[in-house]
């Protein structure tokens, strides 16, 4: 079981002044302490496209149009998406065939402007549940208050 409280407490000590540094260390933190995941990272929104940001895992899709796949749908709807089986998600964009479930959480900067998203994949079906959703949304808020950039 993932210790989200510890992850959140550790994140509160991050004092990075640059967004890339903050997102890089956060992806490393999540990768280190979350169990049963095979990819964790960020996509940054620029107009109608999400661009790959800092991540941990295999090579990933570099851009995703808003409204396409799990990530694009998350941004379009501005809400967390939890997918038990990505192979059943209409229009799923497969970057790693080993991924079977996914959670995407919208990310807002300190000015409450939609900035991008946190994306986490797992090789397990139904890896993510409502507890993960609530905890990762809290983590996204903590990241957001530290994000300086705007897109």
Segments forming the whole domain that contains residue 131: 4-144
Helix then strand then coil, % of the chain, to nearest 5: 35, 25, 40
pLDDT of residue 34: 97
How far is 52 from 91, CA to CA, in rounded Å?
A: 19
Q: Considering its fold, how many domains does the chain have in total?
A: 1
DSSP state of 15: -
149 occurs within a structural domain? no
132 occurs within a structural domain? yes
CA-CA distances (angstroms) from residue 100 to 6, 120, 139, 149?
26, 11, 23, 32
150 occurs within a structural domain? no
88 occurs within a structural domain? yes
* Beta strand segments in 74-122, E: 81-83, 101-108, 114-122
27 occurs within a structural domain? yes
pLDDT of residue 54: 98
pLDDT tens, residue order, the chain (151 aa): 799 999 999 998 998 889 999 999 999 999 999 999 999 999 999 999 999 999 999 999 999 999 999 999 999 999 999 999 999 998 877 777 789 999 999 999 999 999 999 999 999 999 999 999 999 999 999 999 999 765 4
User: What predicted TM-score, i.e. pTM, was given to this entire model?
Assistant: 0.94
122 occurs within a structural domain? yes
* Residue 118 CB neighbour total at 10 angstroms: 26
CATH number for the domain that contains residue 124: 3.30.450.40
48 occurs within a structural domain? yes
Say if residues 96 and 38 touch (Cβ distance below 8 Å). Answer: yes
pLDDT of residue 151: 45
pLDDT of residue 98: 85
151 occurs within a structural domain? no
DSSP state of 118: E
């Amino acid at each position: 079981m993932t210790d989200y409280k510890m992850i959140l407490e550790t994140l509160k000590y991050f004092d990075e002044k640059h967004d890339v540094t903050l997102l890089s260390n956060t992806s490393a933190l999540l990768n280190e302490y979350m169990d049963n995941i095979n990819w964790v990272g960020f996509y940054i929104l620029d107009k109608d496209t999400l661009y790959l940001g800092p991540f941990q895992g295999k090579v990933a899709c570099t851009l995703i149009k808003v409204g396409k796949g799990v990530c694009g749908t998350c941004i379009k709807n501005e809400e967390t998406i939890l997918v038990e089986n990505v192979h059943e998600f209409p229009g799923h964009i497969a970057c790693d065939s080993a991924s079977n479930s996914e959670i995407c959480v919208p990310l807002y900067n300190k000015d409450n402007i939609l900035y991008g998203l946190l994306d986490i994949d797992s090789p397990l079906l139904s890896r993510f549940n409502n507890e993960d959703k609530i905890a990762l949304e809290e983590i996204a808020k903590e990241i957001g208050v530290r994000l300086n950039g705007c897109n």
